[in-house]
C-alpha cells in the first residue's frame, strides 16, 4: 500500500514546535530584549492588578488658634440680612448697656467694634459693599435705649444726635474695621478668580 506523504506546514513549522516570535514581541516595551516567560507589558502587582500605590502623606495639622476659628459658625448673610443682624444685635446690646452699665457710651462703643467685624465676616461675597453702609445705621439704632432723653420724641432725637456727635470716634472706628475686612475679602476673592482664569503653564 502506498503511504501518504506528509505535506510540510506553511511557514516552515513542524508539529510540536512553537513559531518564532516577531521582532516587536522579542523586544520589550522600552526596546530591551524581553526575558523568557515575560511579555512587553509592565508587571502588575496587588490584589486588584493595579500599580502599587504610594502611601498617603498626612497633612500637617493647623495650629490651635486656626482650628478654633474654623469651628466658629460661618453663616452667609445678604446685605439686608447683615443690616438686620447688626441693627438688632446693637439694639439688644444697647438695652443690656442701659440695664447693667447705666447707659455707658464707652461700653457701647467697645461692643460695637466686634459686631462690625462679625458683620463684615458673615456677609456673603456678593454683598461685601454693603458692610460699611449698614454698620453706621446699626450704631444709630443701638443708641436709642442708651442716649439721654429729655422727654418726648423731640428730646429723644436730640439725645440721639448728641450721642452720635460725641461718640463719632467709635462710629468711624467700627466703620473702618468693617471696611477693611470687606476690602481684604474682596481682594482675596479677586485673586482667586484671577488664578482660576489664568492657570500656571
Q: Tell me what the mean pLDDT of segment 9-23 comes to.
A: 53
The whole model's pTM is what?
A: 0.61
Q: Please, which pLDDT band fits residue 6 given cuts at 50, 70 and 90?
A: low
Q: Which three cell numbers stand for residue 163?
A: 450721642
CA atoms of 26 and 157, how far apart (whole Å): 98
Return d(Cα 120, Cα 115) in angstroms, integer.
9
Residue range 75-84: mean pLDDT, rounded? 88
pLDDT exceeds cutoff 70 at 132: yes
Find the range with the poorest average confidence among 29-43, 72-86, 109-123: 29-43
pLDDT digits (tens, 9 = 90+) for 139-196: 999 999 888 776 777 788 888 888 899 999 999 999 999 999 999 999 998 888 888 7
- Convert the pLDDT of each residue in 111-123 to its tens digit: 999 999 999 999 9
More confident residue, 127 or 11: 127
Predicted local confidence at residue 55, as pLDDT: 55
Cα within 13 Å of Cα(36), Cβ side: 1
**Residue owning grid cell 475679602:** 185
CB within 8 A of 61, min separation 6: which ones? 67
Q: How many CB atoms lie within 10 A of CB 25?
A: 11
- Tell me the range of 2-16, 45-59, 175-189 where mean pLDDT is highest: 175-189
| Residues ≥6 apart with Cβ < 8 Å to 169 | 109
**Average pLDDT value for the chain:** 76
The fraction of the chain above a pLDDT of 70, given in percent, is 61
Amino acid at each position: 500500500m502506498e503511504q501518504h506523504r506528509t505535506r510540510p506546514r506553511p511557514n516552515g513549522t513542524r508539529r510540536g514546535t512553537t513559531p518564532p516570535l516577531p521582532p516587536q514581541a522579542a523586544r520589550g516595551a522600552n526596546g530591551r530584549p524581553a526575558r523568557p516567560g515575560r511579555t512587553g507589558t509592565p508587571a502588575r502587582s496587588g490584589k486588584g492588578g493595579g500599580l502599587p500605590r504610594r502611601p498617603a502623606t498626612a497633612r500637617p495639622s493647623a495650629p490651635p488658634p486656626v482650628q478654633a476659628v474654623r469651628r466658629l459658625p460661618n453663616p452667609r448673610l445678604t446685605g439686608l440680612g447683615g443690616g438686620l443682624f447688626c441693627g438688632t444685635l446693637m439694639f439688644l446690646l444697647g438695652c443690656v448697656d442701659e440695664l447693667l452699665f447705666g447707659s455707658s457710651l464707652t461700653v457701647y462703643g467697645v461692643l460695637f467694634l466686634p459686631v462690625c467685624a462679625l458683620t463684615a465676616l458673615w456677609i456673603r461675597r456678593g454683598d461685601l459693599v454693603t458692610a460699611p453702609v449698614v454698620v453706621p445705621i446699626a450704631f444709630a439704632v443701638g443708641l436709642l435705649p442708651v442716649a439721654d432723653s429729655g422727654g418726648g420724641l423731640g428730646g429723644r432725637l436730640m439725645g440721639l444726635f448728641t450721642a452720635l456727635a460725641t461718640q463719632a470716634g467709635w462710629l468711624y472706628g467700627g466703620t473702618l474695621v468693617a471696611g477693611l475686612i470687606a476690602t481684604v475679602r474682596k481682594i482675596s476673592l479677586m485673586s482667586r478668580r484671577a488664578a482660576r482664569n489664568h492657570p500656571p503653564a
